[in-house]
Structure 1
Amino acid sequence: MLPCPAGIVEIRSVRVGVVAIRAVHTGFYLAMNKRGRLYGSKEFSPNCKFTERIEENGYNTYASLRWRHHGRPMFLSLNSKGRPQRGGKTRRQHLSTHFLPMLVS
C-alpha cells in the first residue's frame, strides 16, 4: 500500500543532528512556535529546525531546536487521531513522539 501523497514529508539535514521537515505536496515546512503548537510555514525559519535523535528502540524523535517548555524539550507528537499535540505536554518516553522514517520512491 502506497502512502497518500499529501502525507509524505521530506526530512532534510540542516547540520549534524538538526533537520527540517517539509511536506512534499504543499512545500510547507513544519514549524513549532514558542507555545509548542505546530504549524506550516512557507518560508524556512529558526522555528522549522528540529533535533533528530534515534532512540534505543530504533524510532526517531524530533524536538524543537529553538523552543523549550520550563527547560524541557518540546517534541513533535501526534495523538491517536493523527492530530498534533502541544509540545509542552510531550516527553521523549511517550510513544506518540516516536516516528519511523521510510524511504518512498
Structure 2
Amino acid sequence: HARSSYGHLQGDVRRRQLFSYHKFFLRIGQDGKVNGTKNGEDPYSFLEIRSVDVGVVAIRGFTSNHYLAIRENGVLYGAKEFGPDCRLNERIEENKYNTYSSAKWKVKNRRRMFVGLNAKGKPMKGKKTRRKNTVTHFLPMVLK
C-alpha cells in the first residue's frame, strides 16, 4: 500500500495565519462565516493546518474550532465537524504563495474550486476562482 510510506505526513500540524495576496488574514468566525481581516491580532485568524493525506490538508480555526470548507456550489464556510468539504489540496505556486482548492468538488468543466478572498476581504465563490488569480494566493505565516 503506497500511502503507508507517507505515514509521517499524517497529522503534521502547522500553526499559521493565511495572509492573502490582497493583504487580508483569512478568518473563520464563531458563526462559521469565512472572510478576511486586516487585524493581525484577530484570534479568529489563528489557524491550524493539518496534513490529512499527501498534498491534502484540513484548516481549522483555533478560536472558532470550525474547519475551512467549500460547498459543492463553491461557497466557503466554517464547518463544525471535519468532513469531505474540509479536504483541501495545498499547492505552492511559482510566486511562492499557496493555493487551497477543494479535494472533493470541481466545477462542471472539471476545473478546481479555490479558497479566495477578493480585494475587499470578502470570500469568493469557488466557481469564480482560478489558480493563477491572486485572489486565491495566500502566504502561510508562522504564529508568534
- Please say whether Structure 1 and Structure 2 have the same fold, judged by a TM-score greater than 0.5: yes
Q: What is the Cα-based RMSD across aligned positions, in Å?
A: 1.3
1:50, 1:6 → 2: CA distance? 19
Residue 2 of structure 1, CA deviation = 5.0
2:118 aligned residue (75, 79, 85): 79
Pairwise CA distance, 1:7: 1.4
**CA offset digits 1:65-93 (Å, max 9, x no partner):** 00000210000000112111000000001
Give structure 1 stretches of 5+ with no counterpart: none
Q: Tell me the TM-score normalised to structure 2 length.
A: 0.70
- Where do 4+ consecutive residues of structure 1 move more than 6 Å? none
2:43 equivalent to 1:5: yes
Superposed displacement of residue 3, structure 1 = 2.9
Helix, strand or coil at the partner of 1:88? helix
TM-score by length of 1: 0.95
* 1:49 aligned onto 2:49: no
Aligned pair count reads 105
Distance in 2 (alpha carbons) for counterparts of 1:56 and 1:21 = 22
Match of 2:78 among 17, 37, 40: 40
Matches for 1:86-97 after TM superposition, within 5 Å: 86-97=125-136
Question: Larger relative CO (CA 8 A, sep 6+): 1 or 2?
Answer: 2
Map of 2:53 onto structure 1: 15
Partner amino acid for 1:83?
K
Report % sequence identity.
Answer: 53
